[in-house]
Structure 1
Amino acid sequence: MRGLFGRHKPPPAEDQDSSDTELIKAIAAGRVEALWILHHRYAPTLRGRLSRRCADPDVVSNAIQDTFVSIWRSAKRYKPQSDDAAGWIWTIAIRRLISALRGKDSRWIGYDHHLGDVLVHTESAEDLVLLGIEHGDLGSALARLSPELRAAIEVTVLDGLTTKEAARLLGIPEGTVKTRVMRAKARLREEMA
């Protein structure tokens, strides 16, 4: 995002240790360095997650850039709830991808919980399996999990992130991710039995 930031060197180290919520507050105050840090913290994970939903890397790149432009513009309206910045950022990113895909013929599969509908159907076997997961019995069981357990299982199992990546995205320790995934799997087994 060199064009957006107009600089190449990272901001001061003390700023890089700020929490996501602190960074969003700094962005709301007009500190571009905070946006730079948030971008470097989240862009790789967003690229991975969005790429699983869209096969066009240009569309994904545009959605990521639009996400951070939107964060810059809407940071003042961010209302933190138990340091849920990762979820807020993901919601913006997925909506930017949806907007980009509405006017483009791209491969997409997904269900947006905020919009409540399947967006576009593709023919790949992987996409059909994911569609079945999200809308079949397993999807219903996933929806009944607590938000914390559902988020952990979605980012690790469905999105394929490592425990370390998931911990960073969710803003929790790696051990907590492992525990939540273990608990989520146990509850899903009970629900599906």
Structure 2
Amino acid sequence: MLGAVSENPVAQSSAGNAELAAVLERVAAGDQLAFGELYDLTSARIFGLVRRLLVDHAQSEEVTQEVFLEIWQTAPRFDATRGAAMSWMMTMAHRRAVDRIRASQAGRDRDQRIGRRDITVEYDDVAETVEITIEHERVARAMTRLTELQREAVSLAYYGGLSHSELAHHLGVPLGTVKTRLRDGMIRLRDELGVTA
């Protein structure tokens, strides 16, 4: 009885390959039900291979989805005379997992290069102070080109930190007037400083 249950593993393997090849042929014809069947038959093995390579569960799931998308798209190119269906799919899964590992490594290498570069660049406090001083002088000169009302509104808003409503209350003018003065003042400043919108 026990001998009758156990079959020849080579015969089982051949039958499994033939079944997968037949299902894959239906997938190649665009059969969505066959694709579901193929997924049920192979997803555990494909996910297992990807998981062993990537370790990370979430990435493994993503790559497995990519593999099945590729299987769906390239099923018409499968040639049973060149190899078994499962081998074809496992090769695809292996290649996708290795590509993900390489992409992750390239990203880490790039981040490390940028990090090293940023660390080695010396901070030049004197140059920054000079740039800030020059920029401050340019803005001060440009402020003199504003009308008195525009200059007052811009100064109180940007240097005094007042909101539009606080500015309207402080100046005793309507909110719309404050907004107009600020808008006109900022446009004139932009023009004076040569800043493009």
> Considering the TM-score relative to the shorter chain, is it more than 0.5?
no
TM-score of the aligned structures, taking structure 2 as reference length: 0.42
Structure that is richer in helix per residue: 2
TM-score of the aligned structures, taking structure 1 as reference length: 0.43
